[in-house]
A and B are shown apart, each in its own frame.
Chain A
């Protein structure tokens, strides 16, 4: 079991959180939607696994490279 930190690859604002802690997710699934560059940019699961921790709240600003979700995979 690896602890996988999912980073935002853009600077923006958290618009919607699409999963809950403990949820099972599959690779490529949308975890969070950010608002950035006037676009809705998804943060995707890099692996199949379980959501261990959501590190941000809706409407919170995030910067590029910031860890927003931790998966157990």
Chain B
């Protein structure tokens, strides 16, 4: 047949590309329980939806062509739950998925398509950094790196989700940090440079997990939103994350059916609250009851835990909860908690997601440590973010609410509508401290020196902190029974949707830092 040779060549080349770094390397991964770059894509996208862009790409260096199928980064388009996604999957079996000329072009094309067409981007990260020797020397620095003025520019026109699934240095780390959601498989490492290079540079053995393991990134740095055990769980987490978000910032988040029983669970919310004001509770249990059943998706659960930030749905619509969690430091906001709130508000404001504040905190953490951690700057970042947000904001005051934190947590005119439970207490300062500030002497506690006088003044101050005092000055517009919280929120979200803009916000936070 006339075209047989052409077809043979096509099939031979296609098979070679699909074989990636060869059977031995793929086998080693399989034995380690890891998916390869193509299996990850298959797991992530709807069947038969994948179209690769650059299947026949190879290294720009002629002698490397045969050994670099795809040039180590697989790029293309697939649908996830029926919606288009642009995907970059690093193939570690080809030159450690290191960055070089052709695969950078592939990523550039993906970023352009995602931006111009309003499609979410997914990065499946695992990379050894810039390819050597391709990038070595001044000539190559002048021609390869830095050749794209928008490579690291994030305006959040569309959501980015990243999974760190192996050794991630350079590219995979950068895109993870630029993403709106970053999930990590336990055992993976995310760092600027490899443990080998770091060990060489500082002359002592460095452990990869210590350098950039999941504990460090979920507990200490907050650069990772969630850690999971397997590749499959990480890819499922990306699907879940994207299910809350619109395809781009000019759309509304998708609506989902409301699971049966959501209203009944919401009526049990008071069971979570302890009777004594000195006892704590986990605010996540309140969110779980108030939101649509099984719709809660918490971000950065192990970082800055004095605050809880979680995506969820109310009446089928995506919302973001920003809550104090009294379980940790009594809910007093610290520097990490502030950073976490900012990062979450940036996400919500960029993608038209209304924000709900649940308030129970004794104020900000104060002290020398807090000041060293730049608490005043963090508190004002938080305030600035709050006041720049143009998505609908609602506030529910659960219990304690004092001082500047009252304003930060959507108090006063910082939310479209504010409700308080009858258990709420609002004032500038916890009455016990206030009595001492007004009536005491430095270095003395009136509780000890004049307990009778203290009790009398404490009672006066506390009386003035009641929920009906703030309702009387219209500082809160509603006092609601806890069991009615869900109904109130759903109703107020209807009232306060942005009708004039078709529900879209102005996205003032969409060019805020990608990490804090």
Contact = CB atoms under 8 A, between A and B. Distances in A.
A and B from one complex: yes
Interface residues of B, number: 16
Interface stretch (B39-47, B144-152, B326-334): B326-334
B482 interface: no
A40 B278 contact: yes
Contact of B328 (A9, A38, A40): A9
A38 B433 CA distance: 11
- Of the listed residues A10, A41, A64, the one surrounded by the most CB atoms of chain B closer than 10 A to its CB is A41
A1 interface: no
A8 B280 CA distance: 16
Interface in A20-73: 36-42, 44, 46, 64
A9 B327 contact: no
Contacts of B332: 37
Contact of B330 (A37, A44, A46, A64): A37
A10 B278 contact: no
B223 to A, nearest CB: 18
B143 interface: no
Contact of B327 (A37, A38, A42, A46): A42
B472 to A, nearest CB: 27
B362 interface: yes
Interface in B298-356: 302, 305, 326-330, 332
B327 A39 contact: no
A39 B432 contact: no
Interface string B422-435: 00000000101000
Contacts of A44: 327
A9 B280 contact: no
Contacts of A42: 280, 327
B278 A9 contact: no
A18 to B, nearest CB: 14
Interface in B349-406: 362, 369
A59 B332 CA distance: 23
B456 interface: no
Contacts of B305: 9
A10 B280 contact: no
Contacts of B449: none
Interface string B276-309: 0011100000000000000000000010010000
A39 B328 contact: no
A36 B369 contact: no
B369 A41 contact: no
B329 A9 contact: yes
Nearest to B330: A39
A63 to B, nearest CB: 10
Contacts of A9: 305, 328-329
A71 to B, nearest CB: 13
A67 to B, nearest CB: 14
A5 B328 CA distance: 17
B432 A41 contact: no
A46 B219 CA distance: 10
Interface string B82-96: 000000000000000
B425 to A, nearest CB: 13
Contacts of B330: 10, 36-37, 39, 41
Nearest to B334: A9
Given A9-B328, A10-B329, A39 B369 contact: no
B369 A64 contact: yes
Contacts of B432: 38
Nearest to A65: B369
Given A9-B328, A9-B329, A40 B369 contact: no
Contact of B280 (A40, A46, A64): A40
B511 to A, nearest CB: 33
A25 to B, nearest CB: 16
Contacts of B279: 39-40
Nearest to A10: B329
A25 B362 CA distance: 30
21 contacts: A9-B305, A9-B328, A9-B329, A10-B329, A36-B330, A37-B329, A37-B330, A38-B432, A39-B279, A39-B280, A39-B362, A40-B278, A40-B279, A41-B280, A41-B328, A41-B329, A42-B280, A42-B327, A46-B219, A46-B302, A64-B369
Given A39-B279, A39-B330, A44-B327, 11 more contacts: A9-B329, A36-B330, A37-B329, A37-B330, A38-B278, A38-B430, A39-B280, A39-B326, A41-B280, A41-B329, A46-B219
